[in-house]
Structure 1
Amino acid sequence: MRRAPAFAVLGFLAALAAELPAQPPGAWQSLVEAERAFAADSVRTTIREAFLAHLHPQSVLFNPGPVNGIELYTGRPPRAGQLAWAPEVVDVAVSGDFGYSTGPHQFRRTPDGEVLRQGYFCSVWVRSASAPWKVLIDLGTAQPTPVTLDVTPRDPTPAAGVSAGAGAAATLAEAERQFAQAAERDQVATYRALLARHARVYRDGGAPTEGVLPALEVIARRGTLARVTPEKTDVASSGDMGYAYGRLELADAGPGAAPVYYVRVWRHDPQGWRVVLDVDTWVATH
C-alpha cells in the first residue's frame, strides 16, 4: 500500500479546522506592552533582575541546549552590561493567551559604550486569567551588521488564525515530526512547502529574512541535515498557534562541532499548519 505523502497528510489535518471566536480586545497591544516593559526593566535594573521578573516558571532558554530560565538566572551572578531590545513583529493567538514577539537587540558594556553584540531575539509568551504575560521560550541570534532599536511593532498577520480543532496539540506535534523528517531529505523543498508567505527566518551571523524566497536562499547555503530532533511542541488554547523546539545535526559537522538548536513558531490557517518564525543557532555564511 502506498504511503500518503507527508504534506498530503498535513492537508488532511487542515480539514479538521474549527471556527474561532474573536480575539479578546487589546490582546495584541498588551503583549507589545509586556515586551516593552521587559526591555525597560533590563535597562532600568539589571539583565538578571529583568529576566527573573518576566520569565515563566517553566521557561526554556538555550545555554546552549534547553535549560529552565529561572534556574539559569537564579544561579547566575549579575553581570555588567546593558541589554536593550525592542519588539518589531508581534502576533497573538485568537485566545489571547499565547503569542510571540521578535525584534532587534543590542548589548553594551556600559549604557554609553559601543555596541558589542547585536542581533534578533525570538520570544514565545503565555498568560492566564490569574497571571500576566510571561516569557516561555527565548532564543536569539547575533549578526555583525548593525541593528536599530527604533522600530514600530506590527502584526504580520492581521487576519485571525484558524483553529486546528480539539486535536491541535497532536496535529502540531505531527506537523513538526513530518517537517523534521522531510527536512532531513530535502530542507529547501520542505521549507518551500511549509513557510508562511510572511515567514521570518533567523540564522546566527546573518540578518533576518522575511518572505519565502529570501529565506530559501539562506537555507540553501546550509549543509545537509543529518538529523532533526524535535524535543517539545505546544499550542495555544485556541489551537491556532504553537511552537516547537529541538536540535539539529549537520551532516558535514566535524568532531566537537557546537550543537545547533532551533525554535519554530507555527500558525494554523485554512491550508493547515505553517511556519511563521524559524530561528536556529547555525552560523550562516555569506
Structure 2
Amino acid sequence: MRIKLLAAGLGLAAFAAFGAKAAEPSTADQLIAVDKAFEAYVAEHGVAQGFKSYMDPKDGLEFAGGEPKRGAEAIFQAEGGDKPPTSKLTWTPTEAFASKSGDMGVTWGRWTETPNDTTKKPFTGRYVTVWRKDAEGHWKGLIDIGTPD
C-alpha cells in the first residue's frame, strides 16, 4: 500500500511540476506585461518618474527629438524631473519579440499624449522599446524611440 501511495504521490508531483512549467509566461508575454506595468506606473507617477524607474540607469537611451538622453537620471531630467506634468502619456503595446536567451527583447505599439491644457489637441504616434534584463533579472528599458504620426 505504501508503494502505491508513494508512486501516486510521485506521479502527482511530476504532473504538478510539469503543469507549473507549462504555465510560465513566455518571454514575449513577460515583455508585454512589463511594458503594461511601465505604462501603469507612468499613469500613477508621471512620465519623468516612470522613465527613471523603468529605463536602465546607465545605458538607457531615449530618442524623443533632439539628442538622445542617456541614463535614467538624464531621461528623468529631460522629461521634467520633479515638475508637475504638462500632459498625460498613455500607450498600448501591440507586439513583443524576445531573444532565444530570454534576456533581451522588444515591444512596440501606439502612444497618445494628451496635454493638460484642454484647448490643445492630443497627439499620437508609435514607439519601440528595447528591453534587457539587469543583473537582478528585472527588465529595464535599453532604448526607447517614439515617433509622432
1:66 aligns with 2:68: yes
After TM superposition, the score normalised by the length of structure 2 is: 0.71
1:1-286 matches, within 5 Å, as 26-57=26-57, 58-62=59-63, 63-70=65-72, 71-74=74-77, 76-77=80-81, 78=83, 79-110=85-116, 115-128=121-134, 130-143=136-149
- CA distance change for structure 1 residues 139 and 36 in 2, over 3 Å: closer, same or farther? same
Identity level (%): 24
Matched position secondary structure for 2:30: helix
- Select the structure with the greater relative contact order (CA < 8 A; seq sep ≥ 6): 2
State the Cα distance separating 1:61 from its structure 2 match. 1.3
Name 2:9's counterpart in structure 1: none
CA distance in 1, matches of 2:88, 2:137: 27
8 Å contact kept, 1:60–1:137: yes
Deviations 1:85-133 (A, max 9, x none): 01001111111110001000000123x8875210001110000451311
8 Å contact kept, 1:107–1:115: no
Matched position secondary structure for 2:42: helix
Larger helix share, 1 or 2: 2
CA distance in 2, matches of 1:134, 1:114: 32
CA distance in 1, matches of 2:136, 2:97: 21
Larger strand share, 1 or 2: 1
Matched position secondary structure for 2:34: helix
Q: What is the RMSD computed on CA atoms of the aligned residues?
A: 2.3
State the Cα distance separating 1:72 from its structure 2 match. 2.9
The one-letter code sitting in structure 2 at the alignment partner of 1:36 is: K
CA distance in 1, matches of 2:121, 2:91: 12
- CA distance change for structure 1 residues 103 and 115 in 2, over 3 Å: closer, same or farther? farther
8 Å contact kept, 2:90–2:112: yes
CA distance in 2, matches of 1:45, 1:126: 23
State the Cα distance separating 1:74 from its structure 2 match. 3.4
After TM superposition, the score normalised by the length of structure 1 is: 0.39
| Paired positions, count | 120
Matched position secondary structure for 1:65: coil
Tell which structure's C-alpha radius of gyration is larger.
2
- CA distance change for structure 1 residues 69 and 83 in 2, over 3 Å: closer, same or farther? farther
After TM superposition, the runs of 4+ consecutive aligned structure 1 residues lying more than 4 A away are 112-115
8 Å contact kept, 2:32–2:96: yes
- CA distance change for structure 1 residues 118 and 127 in 2, over 3 Å: closer, same or farther? same
CA distance in 1, matches of 2:44, 2:119: 16
